[in-house]
């Protein structure tokens, strides 16, 4: 058996992003060691892994929203990784001792351990700054703690190269691909109206009413400094003015959302949310990835994120997403945008990106397992 590729999936996005890459590694007979994490109030990542039937080993826990808890969980996870990857865990020692590379979306704990064990690191990252300029004061903690450790870094085309080279990387270590990240898993997705109707029926929503899907910001993430009240204060008024089905896709705990918004449907089980995004009348998102997914289907998309990233700005500039910073602005934008699909604009914007994404994973896997990636520069343009 050959040497193993280690892939750490610490976030829901990473599951979606690497799902096809993992599948292709298995198809090529490459030993692949997938790790993840969960917590008492955070199981979204492992639920997605189970949904897509990806085999993984849960290592460590999510540290919650407090800095001390995050640091404590991070240190413990690094210790668990060190024992696992160094072969000190007898159960998987044979496989772990053959780890050749780490591939991840800038997972801090995995990066630190891989670097310490001299395992080359291949990082992907689309949000090095909580800003759409080059203000390094806005550099994300994850970027500061991982990018300088990278052997190779992959990024989407709209994020400037010079941001990454400022993280102590050489230009030759930085690679661009010609699509926004979610296109990698949406490029061959087949939306199904019957699945959409089934979701509405399963939660008891009135299919005759418009549907607004809502997602909170990652307020427990280290790059968000607090839970901003904008969305929470505006949502009751939005419900009153639209009389729509409000469907909330929870990020953390469920109960407080049910208490706060008794008029809304809070999804309790992990589903393939893309069917809902494709057919709903409007999406309000405080995050990044799911906002992009919504624009892919031409669904009116309103961002309540507390900052604007490079890809956020890109989508705003082409007219596929609107960003708001006040309750009044949010309510007005919802009322003016609901039901106004932008499918033609979306198709025009994403068609070439779909072509690029369709062949990227194949080319990347071939490059990754070639054994001479240090000598052969990756060409991600298809």
179-215 pLDDT, tens per residue? 999 999 999 999 999 999 999 999 999 999 999 999 9
pLDDT tens by residue, 333-366: 999 999 999 999 999 999 999 999 998 998 999 9
**Closest to 289 in 3D by CA, of 25, 44, 64, 70:** 44
Architecture of the 4-185+357-368 domain: 3-Layer(aba) Sandwich (3.40)
Mean pLDDT of the chain: 89
Architecture of the 190-344 domain: 3-Layer(aba) Sandwich (3.40)
Residue 291 has φ and ψ, to the nearest 5°, of -60, -45
pLDDT tens by residue, 29-60: 998 999 999 877 678 899 999 999 999 999 98
pLDDT over threshold 90, residue 331: yes
> Does the predicted model carry a pTM greater than 0.85?
yes
pLDDT over threshold 70, residue 130: yes
228-231's contacts with Cβ under 8 Å and 24+ in sequence apart are 228/286, 228/304, 228/306, 230/304, 230/324, 230/325, 230/326, 230/327, 230/330, 231/284, 231/286, 231/304, 231/330
Give domain limits for the chain: 4-185+357-368, 190-344
> What confidence tier does 176 reach under pLDDT thresholds 50, 70, 90?
very high
Listed range (17-21, 58-62, 103-107, 224-228) with the worst mean pLDDT: 224-228
Helix or strand holding residue 345 (H, E): helix 343-368
């Amino acid at each position: 058996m050959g040497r193993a590729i280690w892939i750490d999936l610490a976030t829901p996005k990473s599951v979606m992003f690497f799902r096809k890459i993992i599948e292709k590694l298995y198809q090529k007979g490459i030993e692949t060691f997938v790790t993840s994490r969960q917590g008492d109030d955070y199981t979204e990542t492992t639920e997605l892994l189970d949904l897509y039937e990806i085999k993984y080993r849960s290592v460590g826990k999510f540290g919650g929203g407090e800095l001390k808890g995050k640091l404590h969980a991070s240190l413990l996870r690094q210790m668990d990784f060190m024992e696992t990857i160094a072969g000190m865990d007898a159960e998987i020692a044979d496989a772990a001792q053959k780890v050749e590379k780490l591939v991840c979306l800038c997972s801090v704990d995995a990066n630190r351990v891989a670097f310490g064990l001299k395992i080359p690191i291949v990082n992907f990252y689309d949000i090095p700054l909580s800003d759409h300029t080059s203000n390094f004061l806005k550099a994300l903690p994850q970027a500061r703690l991982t990018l300088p450790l990278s052997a190779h870094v992959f990024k989407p085309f709209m994020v400037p190269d010079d941001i990454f080279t400022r993280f102590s990387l050489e230009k030759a270590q930085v690679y661009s691909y010609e699509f926004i990240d979610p296109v990698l898993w949406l490029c061959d997705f087949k939306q199904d109206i019957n699945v959409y109707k089934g979701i509405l029926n399963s939660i008891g929503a009135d299919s005759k009413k418009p549907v607004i899907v809502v997602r909170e910001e990652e307020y427990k993430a280290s790059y968000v400094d607090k839970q901003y009240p904008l969305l929470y204060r505006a949502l009751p008024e939005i419900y009153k003015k639209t009389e729509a089905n409000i469907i909330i896709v929870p990020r953390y705990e469920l109960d407080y959302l049910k208490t706060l918004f008794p008029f809304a449907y809070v999804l309790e089980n992990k589903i393939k949310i893309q069917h809902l995004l494709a057919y709903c009348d409007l999406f309000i998102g405080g995050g990044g990835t799911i906002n992009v997914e919504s624009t892919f289907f031409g669904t009116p998309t309103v961002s309540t994120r507390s900052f604007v990233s490079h890809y956020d700005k890109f989508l705003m500039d082409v007219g596929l997403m609107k960003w708001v910073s006040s309750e009044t602005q949010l309510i007005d934008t919802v009322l003016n945008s609901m039901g106004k699909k932008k499918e033609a604009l979306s198709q025009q914007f994403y068609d070439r990106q779909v072509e690029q994404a369709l062949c990227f994973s194949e080319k990347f896997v071939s490059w990754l397992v070639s054994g001479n990636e240090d000598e052969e520069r990756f060409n991600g343009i298809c």
